Structure 1
Amino acid sequence: MSATGRSASLDLLKWLAIVSMVGDHLRYLWVDQDWLFVTGRLAFPWFCLAIAANVARTNSIKRHYLVGFLLFSVVSELPYRWLDNGSSTLNVMPTLALGLLVAWGVHLRTRAASLLALGAVIVATLGSQWLMYGLPGVLLPAALLAALRDRRLFWLAGLLAVAGNLTNSWLLQHPLQPVSLLVMFAAFASVPLGLELLRRPWPGRVPPVGRWGWWFYPLHLVAIKVARVLL
C-alpha cells in the first residue's frame, strides 16, 4: 500500500483486466482469433475482484461508487448495442452494479446493505437472461470478497466464474469443444491468479486507474466499432 492509500497491486489488476477486456473485444475486428476470447475470460473476474477489494476496504455504502455503475450502465448501453446489435444481454455494467450491492451486503451486514443485497439477488434472479454472466456474475464479487478473507474459498468464486461463462449459449451447448474447455479453465484460473496478485505487494509504481476508467468502457466500444466500419 502506498502512502496515498492506493494499492499498486490493485491498480495492476485493473490494468490487466482492461487489457484483457480490450483484447476480447478486438474479436469484433479479428473474428477468427479465438485465443482473444479465451484470454478475455480473465477480464470479468478481475473487475469483480477489484470491486471486492474496494468493498473490503470500506465500512459504509459509498453512494458515488454505485452511482458510477448505474450512470455508466445507461451511458454504455448505446455503444454496446452499436457494436453488438445481436447481443441478448445488456452491457456488463448492470451486472457489476448488482454485484457491488451483494458484496456490500456480505461485507457490511447492516440492515440497509442486507436489504439492497437481497433486492439485487432478486433482480438478478428474475432478470438473469438479460444480464451478462447472469446470476453467477452478480454473485461473483461477494464470493471473491469471501476468498479475500479466506483463500480456501477460492474454488467457490472459480465455479461462479465458470458458471457465468456458461450463460453463453454456444459454450453451454458445446462444453467439450477445445475452446470451451480453455474458456472454463481460464475463467476458473483467473481467481487464484488474481488473489495471488493482490497478495503480493507490487514493488514498482503503477499508474492509477482513476475516474477516466468509467469513460474508457463505452469509448473503447465506440472506437472498435468505428475501426470495424472503416476497415
Structure 2
Amino acid sequence: MRAEQHPLFPLVVVADCWLQRLVIWSPWQMDLIKTVALLFMVADHLSLLNGLNNEWLRLAGRGAFPLFGLVWAMNLAKHPRIRQASLNQLWIWAVVAQGGWSLAGLRPDEGNILFAFAVAGQALWLIQQRGPDARPLSLMLILAWLPFSGASFGFPGVMMLLLPVASLCRPDARRARGLPVRWPSRW
C-alpha cells in the first residue's frame, strides 16, 4: 500500500503541516530557548558545586542539552555549510571549559558537553567535505569520543545531536520532518 492510500494519510499531512509551523522560530524565540537552557544548566551546576545535589535541579540541568541541541540543529538547517573555523573555535572553548570542569572537581577524563557538540559537528563537516565516503571516518571519530563521553550523554548524546541535523538539513527536509509521524503507519 502506498502512503497516500493509507487511511491515516490525511491526519499525517495535517500533523506534518502543524509540525512545520512549530519548527520555524524567530531569532527571539531561539534566544529564549537558549536562555532557558542556560539557566537550567547553571542551576544544575551550582547545585552540584554547592553539594546540594537537588534532584529537581539535576533534572532541569539534563533538559538543557536537548534544548541546546535543538537550537543547534535549527541553526544548521538555516546555514547548512559547517565551517572548520567555527569548529576550531568550538574545540578551543571545549578545551577551555574542560579546565573549569576539572577545577570544579569533576573527572578530568570525561569531556564536557562542548566536546559532544564539537565531535558531532566535526563528523558532519567530514561528511559535507568528503561525501558519503567519509562516513566510516566520522563514525571512527564518534567511537573514539565514546570513552570520554560519560558525563555528556555518551553515544545517545551524539546521536541526539546528529539525527535532528540529518532530518532538518536534507534536501527533502519537508518530507523528512514528518517521518516520525509516518513511522508508525509503516509497521
Calculate the TM-score normalised by the size of structure 1.
Answer: 0.55
Name whichever structure is richer in helix by fraction.
2
Aligned equivalents of 1:53 and 1:84: distance in 2? 33
Question: Equivalent of 1:81, from 102, 113, 117?
Answer: 102
Shift of 1:121: 2.6
Question: Equivalent of 1:145, from 162, 165, 169?
Answer: 165
Question: Equivalent of 2:137, from 97, 107, 119?
Answer: 119
Farther off after superposition, 7-16 or 118-127: 118-127
Question: Equivalent of 2:82, from 58, 61, 69?
Answer: 61
Larger Rg: 2
2:65 — aligned with what?
Answer: 44
1:99 — aligned with what?
Answer: 120
The amino acid that maps onto 1:67 is N
**Residue correspondences, number:** 148
Farther off after superposition, 144-153 or 34-43: 144-153
Among all aligned residue pairs of Structure 1 and Structure 2, give the percentage whose two residues are the same amino acid. Answer: 23
Aligned equivalents of 1:153 and 1:102: distance in 2? 24
Cα gap change, 1:144 to 1:34, in 2 (>3 Å): same
Aligned equivalents of 2:143 and 2:95: distance in 1? 21
**Cα RMSD, aligned residues only:** 2.9
Aligned equivalents of 1:116 and 1:57: distance in 2? 23
Cα gap change, 1:7 to 1:151, in 2 (>3 Å): farther
Unaligned runs of 5+ in 1: 1-5, 157-231
Could you say which structure has the greater relative contact order, defined with CA pairs below 8 angstroms and 6 or more residues apart?
1
Cα gap change, 1:59 to 1:40, in 2 (>3 Å): closer
Unaligned runs of 5+ in 2: 1-25
